[in-house]
Each structure stands twice: as structure tokens, then as C-alpha cells.
Amino acid sequence: MNTYTAKQLTALLQEEGEDINLRTVRYYTQIGILPPLELVGNKRVYTDKHIHYMRAILTLARTGESLASIQGKLLDLPLDAIEKIGAQRALYQPKHILENETHKIGEDVFITVSPRISAETKQKMLDSVSRILKEGER
């Protein structure tokens, strides 16, 4: 089990490109949006579990969720579901939102496409996914 101080956790997230500071990490710990710290020896520390939570919190915050709403959503989720949320952070980077096009194909299906893909290839991809969804409804 990897252990971290609040400062190390902050530095790790900053290395990943997150705009976060030490006060924010401590605040999230204080309000209980992060799980309680682990006790290792006689010290309370952050672990990889806390990193996954922080990634999920930052991802959901980018979608416009309030901290109270995020806390409620994460409360009963298993760790693997929290990891999946955090893994989607790249989709919510300002660079991706501004540069890429997102197309709604169905009620539950969205496709984000880079502008580097040709218009012809993009249209084929959208048509293919639409066709697959329609076949699945039959």
C-alpha cells in the first residue's frame, strides 16, 4: 500500500495536470468528501484509494456537480466504480472540450471526435454507430 502526505498527494495530482492546491486537499479531507485517512503506525496518511477519490471528485466537479452532490454520489460506490469515474478526467479537460466535437448519437451515446479526423471518416463512424444502435433496438 502506497502512502502519501497531503503535500505529496497534491504534487502527484499537479503532475497529472490538475489545478489543485494543498488547501483544497485538506478541505476535502475536513468536510469528509474523501474517506477517512488510514492509520499506518502512529501516522494518518493518504493512500492510493484517496488518489482515486480525488480523481473522481475532480472529474465530477468539471461536469458542474456541487461538492455535496459529488459526496452523495461517491458515498456508496465501490472503489472500482470510483476509479472508472476518475479515468474519465481526460474527457473533461478544457483542451478536449474546446478542440474536439461531441456528437449525440442516442439518448445514452455520445461520441467525441478529434478535428484531425477527416469529415468522411467522421461521418462513416457516426453512421456506423447509429446503425448499430438501431439494430440493437430491434
Phi, psi of 36, deg, nearest 5: -55, 150
Q: Let me know whether 8 and 40 are in one domain.
A: yes
Report, as an integer, the average pLDDT of 13-23: 91
Q: Let me know whether 86 and 111 are in one domain.
A: no
> The domain containing residue 116 runs over which residues?
100-137
Calpha distance 4→13 (Å, rounded): 12
Radius of gyration, alpha carbons of the chain? 19
Q: Let me know whether 62 and 35 are in one domain.
A: yes
Q: Let me know whether 84 and 107 are in one domain.
A: no
59, 52 in Cβ contact below 8 A? no
List, as own/partner pairs, every contact residues 32-36 make where C-beta atoms lie below 8 angstroms and the sequence separation is at least 24, other chains included.
32/71, 33/57, 33/67, 33/70, 33/71, 33/74
Q: Let me know whether 87 and 28 are in one domain.
A: yes
Look over the chain and give the mean of its residue pLDDT values, rounded to a whole number: 89
Residue range 33-69, pLDDT digits in tens: 999 999 988 999 999 999 999 999 999 998 888 999 9
